[in-house]
Chain A
Amino acid sequence: MAKLSLSGVSKAYGATLALRRGDLDIEAGEVHVLLGSNGSGKSTLCKIVAGSVRPDKGEVLIDGRPVTISGPQAARALGIGIFYQELSLSEHRSVAENICLADLPGKSGIFVDRAALEARASRYIALFAGVAGEGFSAEALVGNLRADQRQLVEIMKALSSEAPVIIFDEPTSALDRAQVDRFFEILRQLKTEGRGIIFISHRMDEITAIGDRATVIRDGETIRTLKLSETDPAEMIRLMVGENSDLPSAEHELPAAGPSAGAPLLSVRNLSGKGFRNVSFDVLPGEILGFGGLHGQGQSAVLRALFGASSISGGSLELSGRSLAVANPRSAIRSGLAYVSGDRGRDGVIQGRPIVENAAPIHYLKERLLLARPSALRDKVLPALGALHTKFASLAHPIGSLSGGNQQKIVIARWLIERPEVLLLDDPTKGIDLAAKADLFNLIRQLAAEGMAILLYSSEDAELLGNANRILVFNGGAVTRELTGADRTRYNLYQAAYEAA
């Protein structure tokens, strides 16, 4: 009998179906790998098991008994521990306190039993003795630790739940080789104790090294569960990708016009910063350069750094042959860069203000306007909005009255009044409807045809394959592969995204 079993679980956020039909069986003493591309629903599935998301439909069984997981606390009580990909640590607390936080050892009811806390924490710290690195101790504050050390603390915290089922959602992304090897030894030990482990990783070598079975999820549906000993990486990737994975993308959608030959418009050399390192590339005028790979591998970080929204620690930039220094977004805009984020609420829309104000801020900045006549502004804004087929009642309506797709069009339009030289698109179509997406990509291709250089990161691989002339695949903050011409296939993209960093 399975330790944990989910059948027909679904979850919708508003109109988007994050998980259509999730089935999963975890046996005692196995490492069960979840495989799936960006947005396939594997994280939602994990969150349902961990109790932080409630399913709309479906059944969860633990040891054959149907249960309702009402929250993280309930999940712990039911014997489920989880390693959170985004970590769940208190920066100002010590390593020991963080490890034991969920279940502080008590003394006479209300007090913390410090001795028991230290003893329990040291058991888990000892598991990683020798590989945790300098400065790692029970008393160290988590905020003072390196990224890999924090990830170790989160692993220890998950282990300290001593739960029969433990979920590890990308536990190895920041770890070095020795730390990963030690972690796998611990997982093998847990297997012999009969614990069930759910494991998510984007490194194929790790999956084959530690996994026993794998469940493939695609488009929110469980496709198949297979034994890793009876399959190979190529088949797993084919299952994740689905039908027609070997066809070059060019055959089902026309690629963009293609770059005009000549000197690069933007050159990036050995760029490093928070979340990425040693990134180098050139973009020609008229070229659409795609950034691919799994979520959060440094694509957004590079785009934000180029726009001056986060700092750069090393490397150099050249724009049209001249050295470029971006101190902040303001200087980036003045030197001809434009940035459109998929996170409209945070980076784009000015909530509660009229459409015209939302379309004009870049015009204000570039022209150094203090006062503007509404009629003059109108003449500037209307052509830009027209180019995008934006639907709106009047310029005075608040931006909130528009759909997500039309809001994003307004945000893009603000960059079109004065043309930038380089357009940075950071997952620009997140949460917008298909028609608006088509409009956006038509415009993007048209802008490229007119000579603009475009950097496009998209979490939807079809958008990259259908629009980018070249694709740089990011893995662990670095570019690991470049796909051009007929290599731009779904299969190659997945393979590159999943290969070892």
Chain B
Amino acid sequence: MAETGSAKAPTPGGFKRLIERYPFLPALGILIILLALNGIFSPNSLSYRSLTGLVSTYLALIMLAIAQTYVIFAGDIDLSAGAVVSLVNVVIIVLMEKMGGGGLAVFAALGVGVLAGLVCGLINGIVVAGLRLQAIVATFATSIFFTGFALWVMPVAGTPAPALFWRTYGSKLLGLPFVFYIVAALAILLFVISRTRLALQLLSVGDDAQAAYQTGLPVTPIRIKGYLLCGLFSALAAFCVTGDTASGDPLVGGKMTLFSVAAVVLGGSALAGGWGTVVGSLLGALTIGLINSLVFFIGTPSEWQNFVQGLAILVVLMAGILVGRRARA
């Protein structure tokens, strides 16, 4: 180490530097390939109409993947994210129905929904960061708890959303689909959050929690704030689910949880924390959506769809990791 002559300076190559700056590039490449494949098998699937449909169907997963990203930044995980989606979904449906389904009722219900998501996030944060329980098991436990609460709010699925709500979600504004405005607002929100101190602190905690503590960062409050962000975006995901399905279902979000984790990893973030981007998670969620539609368009028999879908996710995951590993070598 002391000899200066032979010590080689680290000079990352162009590709490596690019991946370091934009860790979501492999995910973007895969997304473009999947879009092309979709177009080959069914040219119609690339139409404006189909793409709008794709976005409005998978916007919920995008939101949930983003929610998951913030806790994964800090090296945590939230296995209750899907249950929070279910809970917020039934809470806002019941509230909107009880209050008559007018414009004011919708806004009030959405406000309560956001609040519910934040409370769930706070509970997770206190349990994981405050009480120092293992994140995987603790949030698995809270997911059961949240699901139970959702079932108490609405024991049977099927209560419809007020027409005002789902019509708005599927409507057009100034010639553009409403969901595109949501995407634009989301992009601005993500950009704003990425400039905050919290984003940087979450990543530092995920990088090395002990080092962050020794540096003097308030590690526990930072992790709780990560879960709060997760709760907020889970609530937003629930709004999208409600707009898309137009009804209440106390179990609607459960199966989305692990898809959201998969989307984060597909997007190039490290599950161990400290490394990743929300843009990558957004692309990862779209990738999962495109895989599903591709499986449909190539005419897979229905009994084989799960099989092919699982295989395709594995292949994409492998491709992303191979590219990432080459960049890091």
B197 touches which of A76, A93, A111 (Cβ 8 Å): A111
In the assembled complex, the Cα of A379 lies from the Cα of B195 at a distance in Å of 67
Residues in B neighbouring A111, C-beta threshold 8 A: 195-197
Beta-carbon contacts of A140-174 to B below 8 Å, as 1s and 0s?
Answer: 11001111100000000100000000000000001
Does A72 contact B216, Cβ atoms closer than 8 Å?
yes
Most buried by B among A75, A87, A91, A101: A101
Does B274 contact A73, Cβ atoms closer than 8 Å?
no
Residues in B neighbouring A402, C-beta threshold 8 A: none
In the assembled complex, the Cα of A433 lies from the Cα of B292 at a distance in Å of 63
Does B195 contact A93, Cβ atoms closer than 8 Å?
no
Beta-carbon contacts of A88-126 to B below 8 Å, as 1s and 0s?
Answer: 111111000100011110100011101000000000000
Smallest Cβ distance from A172 to chain B, in angstroms? Answer: 10
In the assembled complex, the Cα of A294 lies from the Cα of B196 at a distance in Å of 43
Residues in B neighbouring A106, C-beta threshold 8 A: 197
A84 at the interface (CB under 8 A from B): yes
A232 at the interface (CB under 8 A from B): no
Residues in B neighbouring A112, C-beta threshold 8 A: 195-197, 200
Most buried by A among B7, B208, B211, B212: B211
In the assembled complex, the Cα of A501 lies from the Cα of B1 at a distance in Å of 11
A478: nearest residue on chain B (CB-CB)? B2
Does A146 contact B9, Cβ atoms closer than 8 Å?
yes
Does A110 contact B197, Cβ atoms closer than 8 Å?
yes
Beta-carbon contacts of A120-140 to B below 8 Å, as 1s and 0s?
Answer: 000000000000011110001
A93 touches which of B10, B12, B200 (Cβ 8 Å): B200
Does B10 contact A104, Cβ atoms closer than 8 Å?
no
Residues in A neighbouring B197, C-beta threshold 8 A: 104, 106, 110-112
Does B217 contact A102, Cβ atoms closer than 8 Å?
yes
Residues in B neighbouring A91, C-beta threshold 8 A: 207-208, 274
* Those of B205-243 within 8 Å (CB) of chain A: 207-208, 210-218
B11 at the interface (CB under 8 A from A): yes
Chain A, interface size category, equals: 35 or more
Residues in B neighbouring A97, C-beta threshold 8 A: 200, 204
In the assembled complex, the Cα of A140 lies from the Cα of B215 at a distance in Å of 20
Residues in A neighbouring B216, C-beta threshold 8 A: 72-73, 75-76, 102-103
In the assembled complex, the Cα of A145 lies from the Cα of B10 at a distance in Å of 6
In the assembled complex, the Cα of A455 lies from the Cα of B2 at a distance in Å of 27
Dominant secondary structure at the A interface: loop
Smallest Cβ distance from A146 to chain B, in angstroms? Answer: 6
B20 at the interface (CB under 8 A from A): yes
In the assembled complex, the Cα of A190 lies from the Cα of B215 at a distance in Å of 21
Residues in A neighbouring B2, C-beta threshold 8 A: 175-177, 476, 501
Does B218 contact A90, Cβ atoms closer than 8 Å?
no
Residues in A neighbouring B200, C-beta threshold 8 A: 93, 97, 101, 104, 112
Does A134 contact B196, Cβ atoms closer than 8 Å?
no
Residues in A neighbouring B4, C-beta threshold 8 A: 133, 176, 178
Does B217 contact A52, Cβ atoms closer than 8 Å?
no
In the assembled complex, the Cα of A174 lies from the Cα of B203 at a distance in Å of 27
Does A72 contact B211, Cβ atoms closer than 8 Å?
no
Residues in B neighbouring A71, C-beta threshold 8 A: 213
Smallest Cβ distance from A114 to chain B, in angstroms? Answer: 8
Does B214 contact A144, Cβ atoms closer than 8 Å?
no
Residues in B neighbouring A87, C-beta threshold 8 A: 211
B24 at the interface (CB under 8 A from A): no
Does A90 contact B211, Cβ atoms closer than 8 Å?
yes
Does B196 contact A110, Cβ atoms closer than 8 Å?
yes
B212 touches which of A90, A136, A174, A476 (Cβ 8 Å): A90
Does B208 contact A144, Cβ atoms closer than 8 Å?
no
Does B217 contact A93, Cβ atoms closer than 8 Å?
no
Residues in B neighbouring A136, C-beta threshold 8 A: 9
With known contacts A112-B195, A501-B2, A90–B204 Cβ distance under 8 A: yes
Does A72 contact B213, Cβ atoms closer than 8 Å?
yes
Does B1 contact A92, Cβ atoms closer than 8 Å?
no
B165 at the interface (CB under 8 A from A): no
Residues in A neighbouring B7, C-beta threshold 8 A: 133, 146, 148
How many residue-residue contacts, CB under 8 A, span A and B? 104
With known contacts A75-B216, A88-B211, A176-B1, A110–B198 Cβ distance under 8 A: yes
Smallest Cβ distance from A499 to chain B, in angstroms? Answer: 15
A117: nearest residue on chain B (CB-CB)? B200
B275 at the interface (CB under 8 A from A): yes
Residues in A neighbouring B1, C-beta threshold 8 A: 146-148, 174, 176, 476-477
Most buried by B among A92, A103, A141, A176: A92
A141 touches which of B9, B20, B215, B217 (Cβ 8 Å): B20
* Those of B1-55 within 8 Å (CB) of chain A: 1-4, 7, 9-12, 20
In the assembled complex, the Cα of A140 lies from the Cα of B9 at a distance in Å of 12
Does A92 contact B203, Cβ atoms closer than 8 Å?
yes
Does B12 contact A144, Cβ atoms closer than 8 Å?
yes
Does A133 contact B9, Cβ atoms closer than 8 Å?
yes
A103: nearest residue on chain B (CB-CB)? B216
Does A88 contact B274, Cβ atoms closer than 8 Å?
no
Does B218 contact A92, Cβ atoms closer than 8 Å?
no
Residues in A neighbouring B3, C-beta threshold 8 A: 176
Smallest Cβ distance from B219 to chain A, in angstroms? Answer: 10
Smallest Cβ distance from A85 to chain B, in angstroms? Answer: 11
Smallest Cβ distance from B225 to chain A, in angstroms? Answer: 11
* Those of B153-199 within 8 Å (CB) of chain A: 195-198
In the assembled complex, the Cα of A247 lies from the Cα of B307 at a distance in Å of 77
B203 touches which of A88, A89, A90, A178 (Cβ 8 Å): A90
Most buried by A among B4, B10, B11, B216: B216
B10 touches which of A82, A110, A146 (Cβ 8 Å): A146
Does B9 contact A90, Cβ atoms closer than 8 Å?
no
Residues in A neighbouring B11, C-beta threshold 8 A: 134-135
In the assembled complex, the Cα of A90 lies from the Cα of B210 at a distance in Å of 10
Smallest Cβ distance from B8 to chain A, in angstroms? Answer: 8
Does B215 contact A102, Cβ atoms closer than 8 Å?
yes
In the assembled complex, the Cα of A124 lies from the Cα of B293 at a distance in Å of 53
In the assembled complex, the Cα of A157 lies from the Cα of B216 at a distance in Å of 12
Most buried by A among B200, B203, B210: B200
In the assembled complex, the Cα of A71 lies from the Cα of B198 at a distance in Å of 21
B210: nearest residue on chain A (CB-CB)? A88
Does B196 contact A101, Cβ atoms closer than 8 Å?
no
Does A92 contact B207, Cβ atoms closer than 8 Å?
yes
In the assembled complex, the Cα of A104 lies from the Cα of B1 at a distance in Å of 32
A72: nearest residue on chain B (CB-CB)? B216
Smallest Cβ distance from B301 to chain A, in angstroms? Answer: 44
A135 touches which of B10, B20, B198, B213 (Cβ 8 Å): B10
* Those of B269-311 within 8 Å (CB) of chain A: 274-275
In the assembled complex, the Cα of A50 lies from the Cα of B217 at a distance in Å of 14
Residues in B neighbouring A148, C-beta threshold 8 A: 1, 7
Give 22 pairs: A residue, B residue, CB < 8 Å, sorted on A.
A52-B214, A73-B217, A73-B218, A82-B214, A84-B211, A88-B212, A88-B215, A89-B211, A90-B203, A90-B204, A91-B208, A91-B274, A93-B203, A93-B207, A97-B204, A101-B217, A114-B195, A135-B9, A135-B10, A144-B12, A146-B9, A176-B1
List 9 tightest A-B contacts by C-beta distance, closest first: A134-B9, A90-B207, A135-B9, A88-B211, A88-B214, A90-B204, A72-B216, A144-B10, A76-B216
Interface residues, chain B, CB within 8 Å of chain A? 1-4, 7, 9-12, 20, 195-198, 200-201, 203-204, 207-208, 210-218, 274-275
> 12 more A-B contacts (CB under 8 A) besides A73-B218, A90-B203?
A72-B216, A84-B211, A90-B207, A90-B211, A91-B207, A93-B203, A112-B200, A134-B9, A140-B10, A144-B12, A175-B2, A501-B2
